[in-house]
Amino acid sequence: MEPPAFVNSIVAHSPAKLNVFLAITGRRTDGFHDLVSVVTPVEFGDTLTVELSDEGFSLVCDDLALEIDETNLVLRAARAFAGATGWKGGARFSLEKRIPVGAGLGGGSSNATTALRALNQLAGAPLGALELARVAAQLGSDCVLFLQRGPIVMRGRGEHVQALTPEAAGRLRGRRVLMFKPTFGVSTAWAYRQMAAGAPSSYVAAAKAEARLAAWLNRADAPAEELLFNNMEAPAFAKYIALPVLLACLRDEFGLSSRMSGSGSACFAFLPDGAPVDAISKRIRELWGGGAFVMETRLA
């Protein structure tokens, strides 16, 4: 439905994501990797303001370290939208950045998809759901998942998405989690190169990944903690020993089930009722330094 004529700006939430289950199953002939992953957005994220403009596309951001040139995914998304629709308008984007960069939390992909959705609304919805997904998939493997409202299963290189059943999604929605990231990031490209170099042992067979996921989906009493898996941890943990050291500490001292999200370096832990969040956060900063990012949120 076309928005009223007086609507010329949108303020949109751009959520982070967590891979609560991630199995990289092999490298494709096109250079990408196949995966099976359960991914969910979280309540925490960035804020993107989009305002119609007669002066093309522009981007400002409160994080001065973020590149805001034509390589930024927000501007790439705007150009992709214009190319797909023939839309001749422009927009000013203002990004309040909270999701850390190089974290495996999908910040750039989320920003791009949020920009796509906002432009589509402001332009009178020229793209339907399938067309939006097609454009999003061209921007990045993680982009399509941010068109969904809750936990999904990603397959292929990430472009094939399937919603979880209401029962399975209910075991994830609303769960309290603590996200934390050291001051360093992990390059996604580097992580995948390391996996390819260690092939085939670095990969999980697709049939084994699907069987593990199905076992969790088919057990109505299986808690979210039993789903946790990420075989991208191996190359990251081998190089960045601070990651496994901290996760082991949180397990031994607080009984937390923790994993790395995506290619890292951000990790997360499910928080049981009564978890001493302040003490856990203090311990994280003791081991990773005062500059570590720590944020409590919930699965969306």
The pLDDT score that the predictor gives to residue 273 is 92
Question: Under CATH, which architecture does the 171-298 domain have?
Answer: 2-Layer Sandwich (3.30)
Q: Which portions of the chain are predicted below pLDDT 50?
A: 1, 3-4
Measure CA 22 to chain center. 12
Q: Residues with catalytic annotation?
A: 17, 142
User: Which distant-in-sequence residues (6+ apart) come within 8 Å of 99 by Cβ?
Assistant: 14, 16, 44, 45, 46, 105, 106, 107, 110
**All CATH 3.30.70.890 domain ranges in the chain, comma separated:** 171-298
Q: How does pLDDT run across 235-245, given as a tens digit for each residue? A: 999 999 999 99
Kindly report the number of other CB atoms within 10 A of residue 79's CB atom.
13
- In angstroms, the CA 9 to CA 116 distance is 13
Residue 40 phi, psi dihedral angles, 5° rounding: -140, 135
The pLDDT score that the predictor gives to residue 149 is 83
The pLDDT score that the predictor gives to residue 295 is 98
Quick check: helix, strand or coil at residue 94?
A: strand
Question: pTM here?
Answer: 0.91
Q: What angle do CA 141, 235, 151 make, to 5 degrees?
A: 40
The pLDDT score that the predictor gives to residue 6 is 52
The pLDDT score that the predictor gives to residue 3 is 46
Question: Under CATH, which architecture does the 9-163 domain have?
Answer: 2-Layer Sandwich (3.30)
**All CATH 3.30.230.10 domain ranges in the chain, comma separated:** 9-163
